[in-house]
Structure 1
Amino acid sequence: MLFWLLALVVTAIACAALYYAGAGRRTSAPVVIEEPAELAHLKLQLREIESDAALGRLEAAEAVAARGEVAREVMRVKAQSTASPGNTPARLLVGVA
Structure 2
Amino acid sequence: MLFHVRMDVRLPHDMPEEKAAELKRVEKARAAELQQAGTWRHLWRIAGQYSNVSIFDVRDNDELHAVLSMLPLFPFMQIEVMALLRHPSSIRDGDR
TM score, norm. by length of structure 1: 0.33
Query: Higher helix fraction: Structure 1 or Structure 2?
Result: 1
Larger radius of gyration: 1
TM score, norm. by length of structure 2: 0.33
Answer 1 or 2: higher relative contact order, Cα 8 Å, separation at least 6: 2
